[in-house]
Structure 1
Amino acid sequence: MVSVKRSAVTPSKSRWARTFSKIFHIGDVTAKGSDDQIQETLSDEKMADNPIMNRKLPSDDEDEEIRDRAVKEAFLSKLFASLSTVKAAYAQLQFAQSPYDADGIQSADQIIVSELMNLSELKQCYLKNQLNETSPEATQISAEIQEQKSLLRTYEIMSKKLDYQLKLKNSEITFLKEKLAEANRDNKSLEKRLYSSGQLAVPDNIHLSGLSPSHFVAYLRQSIKSVRSFVRLLISEMESAGWDLDAAATSIEPDVFFWKPNHKCFAFESFVCKEMFDGFNYPNFSADHESLLEQKKQQQLFFDEFMELKSVRPADYLAWKPKSTFATFCQTKYLRLIHPKMESSLSGDLDQWKSVNSGEYPEVPFFLSFAEMAKRIWLLHCLAFSFDPKVSIFQVSKKSRFSEVYMESLSDEAFLSSDGTPENYPHVAFAVVPGFRIGKTVIQCQVYLH
């Protein structure tokens, strides 16, 4: 019988001890004696390097400091939540006053009184250092929720207030539109009465001996009206062709601030008037045509031409007298006013421009609108040379100080922005329609102010 001698340490337990030592790094582990007993020895140096064994538990003082901080944060959260509630209630109180809402005012008042009492209690707790909270974390979360609800309520009230103000403004706009329409109707009625009384009407039975400034003013109004009609058509054509109207207006009148976006049309009117009225003081708009006729004969000549053209369509007159002075005037002004590049951009080709340049006058809407404007200005020119002394034209220069005697403003906004001092008094940005003198009578020029 073979006997086997047992080792002093069980191999399995010895391996367990070594494995435990490697995992936890707590020093050498030795097992002595029986299988049920294991002795562990820990080195002092390795224990000093072990983070698990070295971790310190919070002391009572540290616990108290953390809790005190949490209590203070909870107190501040309650304070800000209460203030937000007061702010929301005050917003509701303001909103309920206009339009008047008695229930809304009473509800807001109760909330404000309640929150002011709550704030007073918080103040007393702070002064007496009684900020004890059984659960400061829960209190802080609850207070933050209350604050967010109050902020949301404030925004809702402000949104309602803005909606109400928008409706009020829309109502005011509707009312003003109705007043404007009523004023326009009254103006048209008054204009008809003035025309019927002969004060503004363009008389059919006008005589050379009976000319008066009112006749000239009546035809000037028609001329300005035809200029603006042509400018509207020109702007419409430019928009359809993809022009940058802002850039075009700036190129005509640079460094000008326009009070309203639609005021840019005055820059185009200024450009058209400058071209069309250029040379107005000369017979037939040219210094080369200075008449050698005596004054009376020249007056009669221009008056006869005025009477011949005033009742005829411009297209018919051009077809009837293609070599007349009026035809020459139309040709010259059209070629100066409408550049070939503009013509090509608006119509896609130069056929119309070439026709006018060759002395032909196409019956297309754009040229017919121009011809109507040209006729009105030509009639005004003929009428001016029918007066004795003849009517003279005048312009005002840029940066001139506004004068009510010689100028009519097209931008009254300039007066609203002025404080009345000489430095800030409105000045001329550019002239739109020229002015005229008939003896001692002055017809104001129209200007755009800044």
Structure 2
Amino acid sequence: MTGGRRRRPLSTILGPIEVRGVLRGKTVLLGVSGGIAAYKAAALCSRLVQAGATVHVLMTPAATRLVSPLTFQALSGNPVQTDLLAEQRHGHVDHVILARRADLLIVAPATANTVARLATGMAGDPVTAAALGVACPVLVCPSMEEHMYRHPLTQANLRRLEEIGYHVMAPETGYLASGLRGTGRLPEPEAILAEAVRLVCAHRAAGAGGGAVDPTLAGRRVLVTAGATREALDPVRFLSNRSTGKMGYALAREAARRGAQVVLVAGPGNLPDPEGVEVVHVESARDMHAAVLARAGWLDVAIGAAAVADYRPAVFQPHKIKKGEDRLVLELVRNPDILADLGRQKRPGQVLVGFAAETADLAEYARRKLEEKNLDLIVANDVTQPDAGFAVDTNRAVLVHRDGRQEDLPLMSKDALAAAILDRVAALLGRRDPEHG
């Protein structure tokens, strides 16, 4: 049987804050066909708008008999397309204009009839006509009675959609419109929203020069920290380090290319935000700690590539410190340890990766850090080397695994090292979660 890949839902914690950076300014076409689950499409429309998307709703004639087009117009703020031959409001041919603007087409619910029409290239209503005109990802969410979903013709049609590149989301099991229990329920709006975010992230990453989308992290939630933190002495001075964030940004880009939903928590720097990645900009170690720990229950993978300050001034001076004595003595206090705190509340299935920027005894310090912080993998590099470490595009690393293995990697670009690290992360996830293997 086909009908979509089952993934662990991203929706249980995902909310507008996490997805807003991905969907803000994106044009989403929401195709609604005539299934009883059309009422859920209204909630999905609302979620998409709240996430910052511009939403245009397309309806089949049957759908208009279940939910009023006026409902979708009120929720989206845009005219609803219900008839290909009606007055055109967006240009000469509305469904063509909208198809060219679209960053994503979602068909939810997709009835057995609509699935069949999509699979055979029919274009007699706004939904199917738009599907033939878009160059963006298409997400199809089947919803029907179980016997219709299981029928060999429906399964063949769903396979055909996947073969031509559509993304088919598996229906849920529960009570159906008939009152019977079975497989065929439309997923909840939050789950569809999360899948939409994943597709937009992957599509943007590929279009930004990241190459073909690699599905090895599809549906995963990856958090990466990057760059230095700044610990303020007074309004004009701070303590910091030489990290530029290049390694962390490379990891975020690569994770997005592999289909993950990525949050990058980045310290101050000059690097552009990676495409398809939600970026949270922070200043201090405590800011980064708060941003990361707020997502501790959300993430599947955390990669601590940031060079977080271990100490901060005990007292912040509200005014600029003036020159005085020949010596200025600063009292420093410990900052919270982000990875250690994640390790203490680590849940089964989560993967934690740390970095150890060292100047000597790489493997020894890395192993100690791995154990102390309850990590699964640690990446150690000698920052005294001119072609590795801070502010360069290459790195030479030692990977220390939880099971005691050690890999000495040769000099390579930071993009290549990011790919090598995420290969190991994907292997760890596959061993721990057979559903994603």
Compute the TM-score of the two structures, normalised by the length of structure 1. 0.19
Larger Rg: 1
Structure having the higher helix fraction is: 1
